[in-house]
Structures are given as C-alpha cells and as structure tokens.
Chains A and B, each alone.
Chain A
Amino acid sequence: MTSLFGARVPRKEDPQLVTGKGTYVDDFGPDALGVAFVRSTYAHAEVLDIDVGEALEVDGIVAVYTYEDLPERIGAALPVLVPHPGLTEPRTGYPLAKGIVRYSGEPIAMVVATDRYVAEDAAERISVSYQPLPPVVGLENAAAAERLVYPDVPGNLAAHMVQDVGHARQAIDAAPHRLQFRLAIERSAPVPLEGRGVYACWDARDGSMRVCSSTQLPVSLRNAIASRLDLPLKKVEVIAPDIGGGFGMKLNHPWPEEVLLPWAARLIGKPLKWVDDRREGFIASSSERAQIHDVDVGFDDQGHILGLSVRFLHESGAYTPYGIIVPIITMSQLPGPYRIPNYRVEFDCLYTNTVMVTPYRGAGRPQGAFAMERTIDRIAEFLGLDRAEVRAVNFVQPADMPYDTGLIFQDGRPAIYDSGDFPSSLKLVTEAIGWRDFPARKEQAAKEGRRLGIGIACYVEGTGVGPYEGGHVEIEPSGRVLVSTGLSAQGQGHQTMLAQIVADELDVPICDIEVTTGDTRRFGYAVGTFASRTAVMSGSAVALAARKVRAKALRIAGDALEADPRDLEIEAGVVRVKGSPEAFIPLKTVATLSNPLRYAFDEAAKAATQFTRPGSFDEPPVREGEEPGLEATDYYSPVRCTFANGIHAVVVETDTRTAEVRILNYAVSCDCGTMINPMIIEGQIHGGVAQGVAGALYERLAYDEDGQLQNASFMDFLMPYATEVPEHIEIRHLETPSPLNPLGVKGAGEAGVIPAVAAIAAAIEDAEGYRIDHMPVSPSELFHLRSSQEARQ
C-alpha cells in the first residue's frame, strides 16, 4: 500500500460539509430557548441602575439576569488562564458586569426567551443608567496615563517584562553604525466567519450538563464549567462541533456566555442556546495586534547585527484573561532566523477601555517580524547592501542547530531552534519571486511611469507548544478504526491528517478510519488548538498510540498464526506472514481475539470465545499487564517546542495617482518539517496570506476617542473578497524534519500570516521611496504620506 503520509489526500470532512450536513453550534437544539445580551454602550462607566421592568412584560420572555442574580461561584471574576510572574496586575471581567463596565460591548444582562428575536425585543426594553467615566483609548494614551482604566493600576501597566541576552546596550554603543526608529501596528481582529456560540443542556435525571461550544479548547472549557457549576468532571460533557473558523478568537474561556448558559440551563430546566451576531463578534470577543516598537540597533559594515534593543508597548484591552502570552511571543520570536548575540527586549502591557486582547493567528509574531524585518531593511538601506544578503549574513546556519536563542518562550521553556535551513529557504523564495531580476523589472516599469516595489520578510515560529496532547486509537471487531484526540478542529483538516497518520502506522485503508476531535466524552485530557500545534502534538500522540496498537495486534496475530511478530506485516488491514500469503488474519479478527469472550454475541465473536480462541488453558485469558481490546492511548509531551520557519516575498505596484496598492506577485517558502498533507498545508498558507494581506492593506479596528468601535460590521471592517488577495501564491516547500517528535512535523497553521505585513510594508516602501513604518496602510493614508513627502522635497 502506498504511504499516505505526505500525500494530497482529499479530506474526510468534506462530503458532509459540501452537502450542508455539517453541524455547527447553531444547528443544535432547535427547541432551545434563545438568549440575547444587553451590552454596555459605554467604553468606561459605572452602571448605576438596570431597569428590566418592561422587558419582563414581553410576550415570550423567560428570564432576565444581572450580576445581582448570580450565585457567588457563577458571578465571580473570570479566571486568569495563564498566570505569569510578570503579570503583576492581572484583571479579568465578570460574567455579567459588576457595577462597572470597561469596554463597549461588555455584557450587563442576560435575556432568555422563546427565541432570539424575542430575546432581542426584551433586551431592547432594558434600560441601563450609566455614569460615564473617562475612557482610555489607544496605546499612546494608555502609556501617557492621564486617565486610568483601573484606579489601582498605575500607568495602566498590567505587566512589564524584560529579556536580556548578552550585553545589548554596550554592543550597540560600540557598534560602527546605529539606527533608532519607531514602528507601529494597529489593532485588528481574527473574525472567523462563524462567531462564538454556546448550547447548554442540563439532564436533571442524571445530573449531567452537556455543552456545545464553538471553542478551540473543549477539555479546558469542560474543566472550567465543572469548576464553576461545582459538578464532577465526568458529569460535564463539552463537545466542540463543526466550527466555522477560530483563528485564536475562540481560545479564551470560559467566556461569560460559557458560564451563564450552563448555569441558566440548569436553573430553568430547559436547553439554552446563544450565538453571537456579527456586531457582538466585533465588540464582545477579542482581538490583537496593536503594538508600538522602539528599535535601537547596532551593526557593522557587512550588516551583522551586533546589538539589538527593542522596547515595545502592547495593548491588552480591558482585561488579561490570556495573560501576557502574546507579548511574550513577540519578545521571544522577534529575533526570527537571525543570530543576535546581544538582544534586549522589554515590553509594557497596557490596559485600555477596549475589548480584551487574546491571540489572533500569528499571536504576536507578526508584530515581532515587522520589527525585525524592517530593522534588517533599514540596515541594508543604510549600507547600500542587498536586503536578502543582509538577511543571509545574519542567519543562524543549519550547522548551528540546535540553536539556543537564550530566550524563554511562551511555554516558559528555552527557545532553542531544533531545525531549519534558513539559507535554503531564502534561496527558494528569492528564486520564486525573481529577486535577482527585480531591479531591471523595476527600472523598466519606471520607464512606463509605473511604481513597483519588492519586499521580503522571514520568520521563525515556535509550534507544538506543550504541555501535551493525547491520542486514542482503537480497532473494533467490525474493522472500524476509531481515533480520537481532545483538541478541536476549526477547518484545518485534523480528521484527515490524523487518519493519514493512522493509515500509515497501521497499514489500514483510510476509509476505515473515523476520527473524533474535541469531544470530552471521547477524550478527556487535552490542551487545545493554537500555536500551529495539532500535527506536532496530536499527530505525534496518535502516531504513538497507533504504534502501540500495531505492536499489540502483531502480538495477538502472532499467537493466532503461530508466528513471530517480527515475521509479520500488515497490508490493507490484513496481517500476514511475510512471504507466506496463505497465512493471514484480518485486523478486525485480531480485534475480536483481543477481547476474550464467554458469549458470542454475533457470528464473528465466536472466534474469541473460550472454546474457540487460540491460547493455552494454563494462562489467564487476559495476561498480567494487558487489557482486553485492541486499543491504546498515548501522549506526546515534548521537553520543548519545535520551530517552523518561512519567508515571504512580494512585489507590489502603487498607483501613481490614487496610491492604490496592487499585489503583482507573492511567493512563500515554508518549512513546516515533514508534511503530512501538502494540500492542507497549502490551504493553510493561502488562508494565512489572505489574512496577512488584509492586515497590511485593509483590516484595522477603528476606535473613536470614546472607545466606540466605528467599524463593527462587515460593511466597514474590510475583510477581503477574492478580488483583494493575490491572484496567485507561489509556494515552495522545504522539509527540515524536527528531531523532537516521532513524525518530524513542525506545524503550518500560522505560516501564511506571520511575515506578510512586514513584507508588504517593505515592498511599498521600496516602490514609494519613503518610510512605511505604520501598518496597515490604506490608499488614502499612502496618498497623504506621499503628499507630505513630495511637499518636503
């Protein structure tokens, strides 16, 4: 059987999805009561009074709850999910606002009614009186701290952290050349097409709670709900159904809705369902990206970076449930593929009266890449050197692996690059984009009155972060191979990818394999889907579990065939003796035999009954240390994460009159280690590039000075259509397997987005000839930058 590992296998998920049989959270519970929320219309205010009188008269109303109605355990502040010693002033919100609101959109009251329409009618009739407080909006205002989000958090400073490798200050001072500059990236949002949603159903008879939530972490959510509702873990089931995209927005938990709906479902005794509408998606979920960087770099005549000092401000929003993971990722991933012997990085994580910040695909890396790559570009420009060559000169070399950056990564462990061949990645992408020939192309275009520019940007991405993931593999007597893992999928093709791994490990047809992800009934120990970790973590765990199953199968088959397991092979689900085609036993029969039976409940089961199955009557039917059944669970828990990498290059044209930016060419080189399904990986890259382009040219959250989001809809938050993304993305793969996991994989989920903003900014700067250090940039903004530039000349 040809190996499926590395094959472009069509997805197992697809037949259901293309026929409209996918089940997303809003597809559950047709009889569930509908839920709507009253949300703050002020970014910062005291809630003086909530008058629900009129709402209670709406025909179809079931209940209205405010903070006062919540029992202590339910109404308590939401958890700090990732505590960290550097997070000196953590703050989280309450499921329903407790007397004060800190962002426009914060939930104040929950309305339960016969359906969502009626719930909104009632919500509209609830009148909230506020005493407005001065809101803190924007990073610079937060840093200036003339106003405070929290009276007891001076300077709006949630956290301050420094990492220091070598002696950056001295190295910079001693360097032949030095540059200092500021860069900024604005706030943007993940915006999966399906928003958040929760369905909760309480079974009073057996005291169990079933929750469907569009979540990237069903197991952790289960744990949180069980804790909140004071239920045993096994009495809470959380199922992540089909999920319409996550991109990090569905990582925070428990959201207020994830606490309130289960609680209210139990109280009312009926299933409840809430799904966010698009406006709620913008004002009441999470977003990311806003940072301001001050860079100070010292370098020599060849462009070697001798010392780098970066100080940045990170916007946190009003709460820090996800801790300081994002700025830690920025700080520790900023050096990218470069050897930076003296690096000092410092950040201030600041509160503002806006929605909370949790990871958005890339999770702080796009900002770090922006800082690093623009630095390299400036060095090259200063020295009159080729930008690709200055990169090459600073690269960590393949021979340096494993390379210890000296930094601590987001998992608290040392950031040690395990693999990578950055010079080869660079060669692939520069060839793909036509880097060498570009100056001539640019010149020719200039003769035609056109402005072209080229940009390039590299990144390194720590993927496969722990603590662990698990996998369970079982071969049923029916021949079905059941696979499960605890994290959930949001479109990445996990089912297909894991099935490919198992098909390979067990030599079974992929159509016999069924994969379940994100269901605590099937697998109860898991972390979640983020940091491009699924292939590394669940993939490895499932592979290890499958190997255990294979070993056991061969042992049992060996007994049955009276052969040494080492003389056995498996092909298309059948175990056979090598070189003896007549000596074989199907895996399904092995599965039957693995469970010694007294009762043959069907024809096939007869083979395992006590008078029929092979084996000696001097031995116990289930041997010491063994278990019935052909199944195994295993876990993968690495000592540290692996590091994928890649490089993007882009050619843009800027319109000389309208300053519109058109992408002419886009090339990506991607090293995600061993590729399990290149088709899926390319899809991830396509999608990531689209978000990267969006982040460079179209998408930003536009808050006004009162902290109101001015573009809380698809009309004004400019998610790209097909016409706004590059016409073609040239992808070159490089596989430098990771030595850290059994499969050599490194993760590809964020590969498409991380360096895109940096590369596009560089290309626009190359086309226009002046600084582009603030992203995203719209044609109107570019027009004004250009006009000021021309006025100066």
Chain B
Amino acid sequence: MNEERHEITLLVNGLPNTVVVPARRLLSDALRHDLGLTGTHVGCEHGVCGTCTVLFDGQPVRSCLMFAVTAAGHEITTVEGLTEPDGTLSPVQQSFIDCHALQCGFCTPGFLCTITAFLDEHPDPTDAEILAGVSGNLCRCTGYQNIRSAVRRAADLRSDRARRVTT
C-alpha cells in the first residue's frame, strides 16, 4: 500500500519551496528533512517544550503540531530566516550572544522565533510581560535568567536600530 503523497508549496523565509510529502508529515519534519532547514529542532512532538516553534504568518506556532499540508500557502519563518540577508544578526540573535542566553543551543531557535514575534507585539515590554513571553518554551541549560535579560537587551537594540534607520 503506497502512501498518498501531496505536492505542496511551502513559503519559507520568503522563498517558495515545492515538496512532495505524505499528509502526515509534520511541519517540523518537512522543514528539517524535506527542506534541509535543520535549524528548527524537535524536542517532544506533543507541543509542550516549544523547541520547534516557528513563525506562521508572523505568529509563533509549534511546528510539531501542524502538518505540512496544512501549512502550505502560509508564510513560515524559521531561525534561518531571522538573520538579515547580508548576514547581520537580528537584534534578538545578537542579544542572545551578548547575554549568554544559550548554552547547548537546542532550544534556542524556538526561543528566537518566539521572542521575535513577542517584541513585534510588545516593543517595550515590562519585566512581567517578558516573563510571560518566554514562559512557553523549555530550556534545560540556562535556567532562563539570561534569556530574560536577552529579551530586555533585544528590545533596546531594536529601538536603537529603529532610531538609526529613521534619522
């Protein structure tokens, strides 16, 4: 019994990619294996750890809880898409380095996507908002202290860059 396969186009990091996948292919696996974008990691496949978080039409979602066939036609941003085209790190990426907010790096792409969207919605967040914003992703290494600092720093870097662009 051959499993039915579907030809779909996934818009990832601004580029269309046509792949042929079974319906049950999770978006996380399609990104990693069919598109070779291994930056998105898989931690639990039941939606709790947030490691697989990507942006779906700009909003963070668990890519392990979506089938690639459902995602077809929507805009997906992965960690690879957060870097500027010229290679400059995004404010969130840079602040993670500056604040030592990663150790093994496995949960990091999920956090980066989550925080990128969070700062779009809360460009000047309070500490309580930051805590709420990062408390849907698990990290085993950092104990979260530096991740919270990194969000604060990223907010500052973003407003710096915005100022520089407008002046």
Contact = CB atoms under 8 A, between A and B. Distances in A.
Interface of A: 10-11, 13-15, 17-24, 26-27, 30, 59, 115, 117, 191-194, 242-245, 247, 277-278, 490-493, 679-680, 682-683, 685-691, 713-715, 719, 721-723, 725, 728-729, 752
Nearest to B95: A18
B1 A719 contact: no
Interface of B: 1-3, 22, 24-25, 32-33, 36-46, 48-49, 51, 78-80, 82-83, 89, 93, 96-98, 100, 102-109, 112, 131-132, 134-148
Nearest to A116: B29
Given A13-B105, A17-B102, A245 B138 contact: no
B135 A723 contact: yes
Given A13-B105, A691-B143, 7 more contacts: A19-B89, A20-B79, A59-B2, A193-B43, A245-B104, A687-B141, A728-B145
B103 A492 contact: yes
Contacts of A14: 96-97, 102, 105
A502 to B, nearest CB: 20
B46 A278 contact: yes
Nearest to A118: B3
A117 B40 contact: no
13 contacts: A11-B97, A15-B97, A18-B89, A20-B79, A21-B39, A30-B33, A59-B3, A192-B104, A244-B41, A245-B106, A245-B141, A721-B144, A752-B143
Given A193-B51, A687-B142, A722-B131, A243 B104 contact: yes
Given A11-B97, A18-B89, A728-B145, A242 B138 contact: no
Nearest to A715: B48
Contacts of A690: 140, 142-144
B144 A19 contact: no
Nearest to A493: B103
A729 B145 CA distance: 8
Contacts of A683: 100, 103, 141-143, 146
Contacts of A59: 1-3
Closest 7 A/B residue pairs (Cβ) = A20-B39, A491-B104, A244-B106, A17-B105, A686-B143, A491-B103, A690-B143
B79 A721 contact: no
A28 to B, nearest CB: 9
A20 B38 contact: yes
A688 B143 contact: yes
Contacts of B98: 10
A193 B139 contact: yes
B105 to A, nearest CB: 3
Nearest to A714: B48
Contacts of A277: 45
A686 B36 contact: no
Contacts of B2: 59
B146 A686 contact: yes
Contacts of B145: 686, 725, 728-729
Contacts of A193: 41, 43, 49, 51, 104, 106-107, 138-141
A18 B93 contact: yes
A725 B144 contact: yes
A464 B141 CA distance: 21
B108 A17 contact: yes
B43 A194 contact: yes
B143 A20 contact: no
A714 B107 CA distance: 14
Q: Which of B24, B42, B98, B141 has the most CB of A within 10 A?
A: B141
A60 to B, nearest CB: 8
B138 A721 contact: yes
A491 B37 CA distance: 21
A21 B148 CA distance: 23
Nearest to A684: B103
Contacts of A15: 89, 97
A713 B49 CA distance: 10
Contacts of A686: 142-146
A20 B51 CA distance: 12
B38 A491 contact: no
Contact of B131 (A191, A247, A679, A723): A723
Contacts of B141: 193, 245, 491, 683, 687
B46 A22 contact: no
Contacts of B41: 24, 26, 193-194, 244
Nearest to B148: A722
A247 B34 CA distance: 31
